Chains A and B, each alone.
Chain A
Amino acid sequence: MNDNTLISFRDVSYRYESDTDTPLPLALKNINIDIKKGEFVAILGHNGSGKSTIAKLSNAIIMPESGKVYIKGMDTVDEKLEYDIRQTVGVVFQNPDNQIVATIVEEDVAFGPENLGIEPKEIRKRVDDALKSVGMYDYRFHQPHKLSGGQKQRVAIAGIMAMQTECIVLDEPTAMLDPKGREEVMTAMQRLNKELGITVVLITHYMDEAVKADRVIVMDSGEVVLDGTPREVFSQPDIIEHAGLELPESAKLANELRKNGVELPEGILTPEEFIEAFKFCVSGGNEK
Chain B
Amino acid sequence: MTVLEAKNLSYEYSVGTPFQVTAIKNINLTVEKGEMLAIIGHTGSGKSTLIQHFNALFQPTEGQIFLNGKDINESKESAHAARFKVGLCFQYPEYQLFESTVYKDIAFGPSNMGLSDAEIDARVRRAAAFTGIRDDMLEKSPFDLSGGEKRRVAIAGVMAMEPEVLIMDEPAAGLDPRGRKTILELIKNYRETTGSTVIIVSHSMEDVASVADRIVVLNKGTVALSGSVDEVFSHADELVEMGLNIPQITKIFAELKKSGYDLNTSVYTSEQAKNEILRYLQKGGNA
A residues neighboring B (CB under 8 Å): 19, 45-49, 94, 148-150, 172, 175-181, 205, 207-208, 244-246, 249-250, 252-253, 256-257, 260, 262, 271, 274-275, 278-279, 282-283, 287
Interface membership of chain B positions 165-177, coded 1 if the CB is closer than 8 angstroms to chain A and 0 otherwise: 0000010011111
| Chain B residues whose CB sits within 8 angstroms of the CB of A244 once the complex forms | 176-179
Q: Which residues of A contact B227 (CB under 8 A)?
A: none
Cα distance A205–B255 in the bound complex, in angstroms:
26
In the assembled complex, how far is the CB of residue A21 from the closest CB belonging to chain B, in whole angstroms?
13
CA distance A282 to B245 in the complex (A): 28
Expressed in whole angstroms, the Cα–Cα distance for A172 and B92 within the complex equals 14
Q: A250-B248, A252-B270, A279-B256 are in contact. List 9 more A-B contacts (CB 8 A).
A: A47-B179, A149-B43, A176-B170, A181-B43, A244-B176, A244-B177, A249-B249, A257-B277, A282-B261
Q: Does B163 contact A (CB under 8 A)?
A: no
Q: Are A19 and B143 in contact (CB under 8 A)?
A: yes
Which 4 A-B pairs have CB atoms at the shortest separation, nearest pair first? A180-B243, A179-B245, A244-B178, A149-B43
Is the Cβ of B287 less than 8 Å from the Cβ of A283? yes
| Docked-complex contact A45 and B243, CB < 8 angstroms | no
Q: Contact string, B34-72, partner A, CB cutoff 8 A, digits 1/0?
A: 000000011110000000000000000000000000000
Contact with A along B150-176 (1 / 0, CB 8 A): 000000000000000000001001111
Q: Which residues of B contact A46 (CB under 8 A)?
A: 176, 178-179
Please, how many angstroms separate the alpha-carbon atoms of A111 and B64 in the complex? 45
B274 with A260: CB separation less than 8 A: yes
Contact B248 A260, beta carbon cutoff 8 Å: no
- Given A149-B43, A282-B287, verify A180-B176 contact (CB < 8 Å): no
- B27 in the interface, Cβ–Cβ < 8 Å? no
B4-12, B81-89, B121-129, B278-286 - the one binding chain A: B278-286
Q: Which residue of A lies closest to B285 (CB)?
A: A282
Taking CB atoms, residues of chain B closer than 8 Å to A207 are 177
A47–B243 touching, CB < 8 Å: no
Give, as a whole number of angstroms, the nearest-CB distance from B122 to chain A.
31
Known: A178-B203, A262-B281. A148 touches B43 (CB 8 A): yes
